[in-house]
Amino acid sequence: MIKNHPPTQFLADYSAGALSLAPAISVTTHLQFCDQCREAVSGLNALGGELLSDCEGIEISSSLLADTLDQLDAQLDDTPSSTVAVPDANTLADTELANEIPDYLHKFVGRSTLNWRSLSSSVSVAPITVGETEYELALHRIEAGGRTPIHDHQGTEVTVVLKGTFSDEQGMYHEGDFLIREAGEVHQPIAAQNESCVCLSVLSAPIKLTGIKQVLNPFMRFNPS
């Protein structure tokens, strides 16, 4: 049972195409689990379509249209053809992981990008490269009964639970739950005792460890590319 959903404004921005790629992936991931938000988004999409169709068309001169199309062509010529690396889904290295993440995520999580790194004895992280510079997208895995270091954030952190359960000071979260932690909030996620927990996370700025920053901080940071 999903109890935590994206805020309405987040869904509206998603529907309007106003989110950048990593946050949009976090919403798409939640929608794989959540009928309620999927319905809300299709409602928003329909509303957006109606608003557009209500707009009265205006006449434009043929030369303006031609100039605009020329400019678009020129811009397209300047754009590199593949700014987002999409590895072959068949190259997914970790077959166990393949069962844990929604199908559509596989195209971002190929052998070339999935690189699990230990943060502690019970926590590991695998950055996902989507050509995003503003946000860091990653999978986090907490082993059964494991806990992450206590940490706070310089920016916003979005977490979507893909598999298993974890809890922190504010509650317990299950598959599909969508959480936002704002800058300055301190928390310590702990996985359930009986199974490991895998989450998709989006960070708008590097997280900073509280207290033991100097020991662990270099391992928490990874560079988006």
Minimum CB distance to Zn ion, residue 26 (Å): 12
Q: Quick one: 97 or 158, whose CB is closer to Zn ion?
A: 158
The residue within the footprint of Zn ion, chosen from 22, 24, 27, 37 (CB under 5 A), is 37
Residue among 31 and 207 whose Cβ is closer to Zn ion: 31
Q: In the bound complex, what is the minimum distance in angstroms from residue 2's beta carbon to Zn ion?
A: 6
State how far the Cα of 174 lies from the Cα of 178, in Å rounded to an integer.
9
From the list 46, 36, 49, the residue with the least C-alpha distance to 8 is 36
Nearer to Zn ion, 5 or 141 (CB): 5
Cα(113)–Cα(26) distance, integer angstroms: 18
Nearer to Zn ion, 37 or 192 (CB): 37
Kindly determine how many residues on this chain lie close enough to bind Zn ion according to the rule CB under 5 A: 3
CA distances from 87 to 79, 82, 96, 150, 201 (A): 20, 12, 18, 34, 20
Site for Zn ion in 100-129 (CB under 5 A): none
Q: Does 137 bind Zn ion (CB under 5 A)?
A: no
Contacts of 85 (CB under 8 A, 6+ apart): 112, 113, 129, 130, 131
Window contacting Zn ion (CB under 5 A); options: 31-39, 90-98, 141-149, 165-173: 31-39
Rounded Cα distance, 176 and 164, in Å = 10
CB 166 within 8 Å of CB 189: yes
Stretch that binds Zn ion, among 30-38, 63-71, 80-88, 134-142 (CB under 5 A): 30-38
Instruction: Report the residue from 19, 34, 41, 126 that binds Zn ion according to the rule CB under 5 A.
Output: 34
Instruction: Catalog residues that contact Zn ion under the rule CB under 5 A.
Output: 5, 34, 37
